[in-house]
């Protein structure tokens, strides 16, 4: 399978929702990056035990951290809410 070029994070997310990186691992390259403390912060949020278990299971299946999946899951509805608020103001 060929990994296509993406025009947005949304396109990328939609593609990886239906494809496995395991099928394209030979097309990947190592990447070096640094996450500085100013960019990421940790927050304690109470999460239902079953919801957390589902998030952890999905994250493992996708090969990402639970934190990354939670960020993605929070970002998408936040963008929709923000767009809806901007249309009504």
pLDDT of residue 89: 67
pLDDT recorded at residue 60: 93
| pLDDT value of residue 54 | 95
Cβ atoms of 3 and 24 closer than 8 Å: yes
Q: Determine, yes or no, domain membership for 13.
A: no
Q: Is residue 3 part of a domain?
A: no
* Domain with 78 in it: 32-89
If we measure between CA atoms, which residue out of 76, 77, 59 comes closest to residue 68? 59
Token pair, residue 52, equals 């957390």
- Give Cα 80 distance to the centre of its chain: 16
Q: For residue 34, what are the CA distances in angstroms to 9, 22, 29?
A: 20, 24, 16
- 23 in any annotated domain: no
25 assigned to some structural domain:
no
The answer to the question of residue 2 being in a domain is no
What's the whole-model pTM score?
0.49
Domain count, the chain: 1
25 has a pLDDT exceeding 70:
yes
Inform me whether the pLDDT recorded for 11 exceeds 70: yes
- 13 in Cβ contact with 7 (< 8 Å): no
């Amino acid at each position: 399978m060929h990994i296509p070029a993406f025009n947005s994070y949304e396109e990328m997310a939609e593609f990886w929702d239906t494809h496995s990186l395991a099928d394209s691992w030979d097309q990947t390259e190592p990447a070096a990056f640094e996450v500085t403390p100013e960019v990421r912060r940790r927050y304690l949020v109470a999460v239902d035990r079953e919801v957390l278990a589902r998030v952890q299971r999905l994250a493992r299946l996708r090969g990402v951290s639970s934190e990354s999946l939670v960020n993605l899951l929070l970002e998408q509805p936040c963008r929709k809410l923000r767009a809806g608020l901007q249309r009504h103001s």
